[in-house]
Amino acid sequence: MRLTTRLLLFVFLSVIVPMIGLSLFLKQEITDSILGEKRDKLFGLARQLDGALEGSFDDILAAEAALGLDREGKIAVLNARLRGITDFVASGNDGVGVGYYGKELDAVLTYGPSGQFQYMVGRSIFEGHQGYEVMATGKPMVQTGALVRGDILNCMWPISRNGTIIGYIWSNETLDRIGGQLDPIIRRMYLIDALIFFLIYASVALTMKGLLDRIMSIKKGIDVLFHMPNYHIPPVSGELSVIVSTINDLVDTTNIVKCYNKNILESVLNGVLAVSCSGTVTRANKAFFELFPGFDEVSIGGGYREAFPPDMAALIAKGLDGDGSDGTSPSGMAELLHGGKVIEAYANTMFDETGSRLGAVFIFRDITVMRRYEREIQEKDRAAALGQMALAVVHEVRNPMTSVKGFAQLLLRPDVDEEKRTKYLGLIDDELNRVNRLLNEMLLYGGRSRLEPRPSSILAVVCDSVDRNDWSGYAAKPCVKAASGGDYVADIDVFKVGQALDNILKNACEAVAAKGSGRVVALVKDLGGTVEGRGVDSGTGIPPDALPKLCVPMFSTKKSGNGFGLAISRKIMEAHGGGLFIDSVEGVYTAVSLVFQRECKPGEEGR
């Protein structure tokens, strides 16, 4: 089913069906209301006729000296006496029929307007007519259906004299006439429903057309990605641009990871061997064959027991049978003596995305020289530092992902209303943006980029940084100060230096905001052979024990910071052949200086 069809079906089910249900409910309510109004009116007319009847039917016959007449004679006398009353009441209520019914005579005595219904006088009601029940119980009743007059709404009022029911009065109106009043209302209601449906359909069609086109564009781009992993989906407008941007970023990241994996596997100094759960050798890198010259690529695709000697086969078997349940803990670690070398070997269990075991990766490392020289200690220190940084990164990523998981679970609850759903989706978006921002900063810090230096005014770059950013959310806006007539030109990459200045000035404004008040000043100085740009704030300052740790990734004095801002800024300055220097007194001020050489002498990153 196409997305357009699904959306229209969704609109139909979520809007039109409830609207139809509401319309049917309103129709019934309107019908009941009109019928109730009609019943009240008809009973009112019946009570009016009851009040107009003075005494009983026998009293009228006695007054007319007609008690001795036969049934037809009595009916004629009563009709002559009462016909004027019923005609008068009927004449004031168009379409209404009224009359008296005598219990003793079991006959219609009058039926007004008599011009239409005089022929009904003298007739008895049919067996099963509720008029008999009214006369038997003395309770008013309403009967709907085909009666003496036809298909009518008939209200019957008992005539009680001296505690005896002598007959009943009816007041009725045809259902066709009631329907004639009701039908225009119902038609207008259905017309409004149809108009609302058309407006909703048109709104959805017009609103969703552009969105669906963009979605289909993204879908086609994703289909192309399966055949061209390096393909970038063309940008789209609107909110979906974030999705396209994210997908393209993921493509770039995935390609980088693939490239890294390939380069790492082929260029790493350690030998790497991959073996499946079935015992098949699936991959080995160049370093492995260099470490074990007796083996070649013919071994790939065969069983490890046939390809390797017993000591290596036993090691591989132990690694495949080991726990390694976390996929990272090395198992089956051992040392091999091969060709006069001491080789350290260990295994890592491999799992797919579903948690199913794929096999194991074995790492072989020549540790002969490492045991003799101090380099082994240095490598361990470096590994420890990287491990700390990795833990910090995991901590920074885990917290927002835990929040995302929690809000996602809340969204699965059926009782979540639209307001909470929007709130949770906004919080999920904020947390994912936080992770994305951290990853982008890590990539920026760890990547290599070529400088594009050109003679530029440091003062102009500082002014641009102040003017370009929005400082309304901070307690202070930086002001720029520079001596007139100074030479502030240096060879710089304007974009990268702007990045560094943005970070330093924002840090200064945040420090002032944390203190509650203060100033931020951007100073530009001509120092002859160099140009200095300095950001000075009177904010919270930096503790003395934290100063040596600044510019180290994952260390920050801010609760929400990750340390990459200053680390990247220092890297940019070193790439220019300049430097970044920090001076601070806790609670008083902080000054961050960027020193530029007149002629760019790029460091290693900028080459």
326-370 pLDDT tens trace: 444 455 567 777 666 778 888 888 887 788 888 888 888 887 776
**Res 111: pLDDT:** 92
Q: Please write down the long-range contacts of 477-480, taking CB distance under 8 Å and 24 or more positions apart.
A: 477/509, 477/520, 478/505, 478/508, 478/509, 478/520, 478/521, 478/522, 478/535, 479/519, 479/520, 479/521, 479/522, 480/521, 480/522, 480/524
Burial code of 18-44, b = ≥16 C-beta within 10 A, e = fewer? ebeeebeeeeeeeeeeebeebbeebbe
pLDDT tens digit sequence for 420-451: 778 878 877 766 765 665 555 555 555 566 77
**Res 150: pLDDT:** 64
**Res 487: pLDDT:** 86
**Res 107: pLDDT:** 94
In 505-578, at which residue ranges do the beta strands (DSSP E only) sit? 520-526, 530-537
How far is Cα 505 from Cα 514, in angstroms, rounded to an integer? 14
497-519: average pLDDT: 86
Instruction: Assess whether pLDDT exceeds 90 at residue 104.
Output: yes
Instruction: Assess whether pLDDT exceeds 50 at residue 225.
Output: yes
How far is Cα 68 from Cα 172, in angstroms, rounded to an integer? 33
Q: How buried is residue 542: exposed, middle or buried, by Cβ count under 10 Å (0-12/13-18/19+)?
A: buried
The interaxial angle of helices 418-446 and 564-575, nearest 10 deg, is 30
Instruction: Assess whether pLDDT exceeds 80 at residue 411.
Output: no
pLDDT tens digit sequence for 273-296: 888 888 888 888 888 888 877 777
312-319: average pLDDT: 82
How far is Cα 30 from Cα 42, in angstroms, rounded to an integer? 18
pTM: 0.34
